[in-house]
Amino acid sequence: MGVGDKIQNKAQEVSGKAKESIGDATDNESLQAEGAKDQAAAHTKQTGENVKDAAKDVKDDLTK
């Protein structure tokens, strides 16, 4: 996984947390939901990247 992907995923997660917090503070349910959605998407992307990394590690171990 590239460093750029990690940074983008983290940025999306942080942005989602901020939106959710602002939504909580202002009683804006739409913003809360959008923040939660952004965080879930970031976690999903990160999980996918972790699976790719694990598969690459297995492949590398098998070719040694």
Q: What is the pLDDT of residues 9-47, one digit of tens each?
A: 999 999 999 999 999 999 999 999 999 999 999 999 999
pTM above 0.85, yes or no: no
User: Cα separation of 64 and 52, whole Å?
Assistant: 19
**Cα→Cα distances 47→25, 31, 41, 52, 54, Å:** 30, 24, 10, 9, 11
User: Cα separation of 28 and 37, whole Å?
Assistant: 14
